Amino acid sequence: MKRLLILEDGTIFEGTAFGADVDVTGEVVFNTGMTGYQESITDQSYNGQILTFTYPLVGNYGINRDDYESIIPTCKGVVVRENARLASNWRNQMSLDEFLQRKNIPGISGIDTRALTRIIRHHGTMKATLANPGDEIKHMQDQLRATVLPTNQVEQVSTQTAYPSPGTGRNIVVVDFGLKHSILRELSKRECNLTIVPHTITAKEIIDMNPDGVMLTNGPGDPTDVPDALEMIQGIQDKFPIFGICLGHQLFAMANGATTSKMKFGHRGFNHAVREIATGRVDFTSQNHGYAVDAASIDKTDLMVTHIEINDQSVEGVRHKYLPAFSVQFHPDAAPGPHDADYLFDEFMEMIDATKLEKGDF
């Protein structure tokens, strides 16, 4: 069965349908990773987006029980050059096609994803529609241009109630803006006792929990759409060590006076080189974001830039000059991607221990 991908600029791609038989509209973006399609599709940072994979063959090792980054994915659609006919891996439980059908996500294959990626790189991310042929094309294009994409993505993907992930070590409050399960895995490896809380939690509620540290997770959308989080961060950052990742990084920077802006086409992939300014160390990192902290806005804050992206010099990490708090734009938890930067979780643990020792809490 045929399916169309219609872009806001008028471009139309015709390909083969797979996955769910539904029409959807969202922001079309591209991911440059060579593997990790399951983790990407289930990453809540892709909420509301039509996800294009630049690697030509997708689905060749199927879907397994271990690589979910969330249980209910909320990306709008999947675009691939070739959807593998056979999934071959000892962990395989179902095909990508079957998985997308179960999750009610449409896919399109057989289109030139290189050409699509060039369009996005040139014009920037834009709205797009995945639809079956049949409706009048001009009508679908008019509907697409008139569609206003939602801005409450974090509300859609954050947990509604707090829940525990028990451990025997440090007590960490994890503020869920659309977290990846790999963040919980990394903290659990370090035997942390976790309490995952909604994005609406207040500073007072966190203070009453008296954690050893606070994790601000990744999530979808524009950080300026989550203004209440800034007040929460301002209320706790002088009381507990903080570690922010991706959206959590942007919110931490904004809470301290920095600004953010939308990138032309973002960073989405697992091969982004990042330099740590203090040491010159270069890590290859996993990234998924369409917004970035403005470098010039940091000069008038109590923050210092710790990491930069080698290719475009964008801000990839900040640290508070006077408080035990830092954040990074990339994913040290990877999944998928290189684990070069997972030492940052150990630095967070060391920061917590040093803070407790200073307070005499040991």
Strands (DSSP E) found in the chain: 2-7, 12-19, 24-31, 49-53, 57-58, 77-79, 82-83, 106-109, 126-131, 163-165, 171-175, 193-197, 213-216, 242-245, 260-276, 282-293, 303-309, 315-320, 325-328
Burial (Cβ within 10 Å: 0-12, 13-18, ≥19) of residue 35? middle
Active-site pick, 67, 97, 176, 333: 333
**45 annotated as a binding-site residue:** yes
**70 annotated as a binding-site residue:** no
- Cis previous bond, 336, omega within 30: yes
289 is catalytic: no
Query: Using CA of residue 265, residue 295, residue 329, residue 212, what is the dihedral sign?
Result: negative
User: Residue 247 in contact with residue 293, Cβ under 8 Å?
Assistant: no
**290 annotated as a binding-site residue:** yes
**219 annotated as a binding-site residue:** yes
SS3 144: helix
Length of the chain measured in residues: 362
**291 annotated as a binding-site residue:** yes
**184 annotated as a binding-site residue:** no
Cβ contacts of residue 167 below 8 Å, gap of 6+?
187, 188, 191, 192, 193, 194
What is the rounded distance in angstroms from the CA atom of residue 124 to the CA atom of residue 145?
Answer: 16
User: Residue 260 in contact with residue 301, Cβ under 8 Å?
Assistant: no
Active-site pick, 199, 212, 331, 340: 331
Query: Using CA of residue 286, residue 53, residue 98, residue 127, what is the dihedral sign?
Result: positive
User: Residue 252 in contact with residue 329, Cβ under 8 Å?
Assistant: no
SS3 151: coil
H or E stretch at 97: helix 96-102
Active-site pick, 176, 246, 272, 289: 246
75 is catalytic: no
246 is catalytic: yes
Residue ranges for the known binding site for L-glutamine are 45, 219, 221, 247, 250, 288, 290-291
Which residues are designated catalytic? 246, 331, 333
